[in-house]
Amino acid sequence: MKMELDKDLFCVVGLGGSGRAAVRLLCSQGARVRGYDARAPKDLGDAAQELKKLGVELFTGELEATVFEGVSHVVLSPGVPPRAVRDLAEAAGAELLGELELSSRFLPGTFAAIAGTNGKSTVTQLLGDMLERGARPVFVGGNLGTPLSEAVAGPASGSDGLLVVEVSSFQLETVRDFHAHVAVLLNITDDHLDRYDDFADYAAAKGRVFAAQTADDFALVPEGDAFLTQLAAVGDAKVVHFGGEHSLVRIEGDVLLSTDGAFRFPLSDLAVTGRHNAIDACAAASAALLLGAPVEDIAAALREFRGLPHRMQLVCERRGVRYLDDSKATNVGAAAAALDGFLGSAGKVVLIAGGRDKGGSYAPLVEPLSKVGRAIVCLGEAAAKMERALGETDLPIRRTASMAEAVRVAASLAEPGDTVLLSPACSSYDMFVSYAHRGNAFAGAVRALPDAAPGEGR
């Protein structure tokens, strides 16, 4: 449905960060805007005042058909499950789209979209770092942090802009015309099964990143993954692989190497460790090459990258035990990858895990824990389910009621040379407002232990 900003009425559903960004964008373009949120105005805080100043008509409480009366476009925030909203929007004859789809219609530049269950934030930031060294203006954001709507008023808003966006399955549910010149799908493992009917439904949402691509575009997926290669064929793009023997960029021995040999990077120069980080580097370098980045810019960005907050971040070392914050590992696949990174290490791992269960299985943690684990400390709503699943490891398992207690118990179980790893495999929303809040609570509890000397953050 074509948008006519001077005539159409837009309703933004969900007034969190993404929704408010969509409201600001629409208001800046002269559109008439209505906002809806289930929370009462007093619970919206500063958002309610901002909406009032912008002249936005605000609806709150239970979602009813009257909210969409006269509305031509419904802009759905990614955190809001779409089914009930979709039914009401269709009944009103309104187009349903998300903030990602909406904002992309105002941005004529070149898009790179990074999707996947794990690693997408790292690859998005890495790719942005590689491209920002060039002459073209670059925006880095999306699900990573800064909503794409904010790019419309920024330096990358023109046709010469490069827009590097992390895209979640929630955002991809509502795309139609969103078009990435380079679309990357890193992996798919069980996640968000509390929102989707099953794994196939979740995977189909991820695959929508390729849907609008043309023969002039590139779909980038890991070599050897037949399922992701099949998903990449949803659109018409040329399928390109990374990470394997016949990939655009592969791991060969201890170097990253491009097919033509022009890009060669020693893995020892990566400041972040673990095979999963090397694979992420392959993906980012491949995307950068497809977007025309010079090999020297790619190498410089890899050399300087220090990782993201709450992703395998060293908090400190105490009595010979390292404490790592991997709170961003909000699903089982991410936690398993973190544990795999300790294969071959001298010490063992005391894992702190748990939180709000997302409907998947914890069985993939059993094998890596059996190889590298010392003990397991569980907390949160998923603790009992996790205990049952991880009992197969034959490792000591302790259940705790708080992060402070979890850290104290983990410290008592660890031996010199070991690592206490917070890698929850669950969302944070049972006890914390975000994975960052959880990670900060972990770091605070670690620093409250006696004899904890600050380590060098990574």
Catalytic residue among 181, 192, 241, 358: 192
Catalytic residue among 73, 118, 120, 187: 120
C-alpha separations of 244 from 222, 249, 255, 279, 301 in Å? 7, 8, 13, 9, 22
Q: Is 192 considered catalytic here?
A: yes
Q: Is 437 considered catalytic here?
A: no
Helix (H), strand (E), coil (C) string for the chain: CCCCCCCCEEEEECCCHHHHHHHHHHHHCCCEEEEEECCCHHHCCHHHHHHHHHCCEEEECCCCHHHHCCCCEEEECCCCCHHHHHHHHHHHCCEEEEHHHHHHCCCCCEEEEEECCCCHHHHHHHHHHHHCCCCCCEEEEECCCCCHHHHHHCHHHCCCCEEEEECCHHHHCCCCCCCCCEEEECCCCCCCCCCCCCHHHHHHHHHHHHCCCCCCCEEEEECCCHHHHHHHCCCCCEEEEEECCCCCEEEECCEEEECCCCCEEEHHHCCCCCHHHHHHHHHHHHHHHHCCCCHHHHHHHHHHCCCCCCCCEEEEEECCEEEEECCCCCCHHHHHHHHHCCCCCCCCEEEEECCECCCCCCHHHHHHHHHHEEEEEECCCCHHHHHHHHHHHCCCEEECCCHHHHHHHHHHHCCCCCEEEECCCCECCCCCCCHHHHHHHHHHHHHCCCCEEECCCC
Active site residues: 120, 143, 192
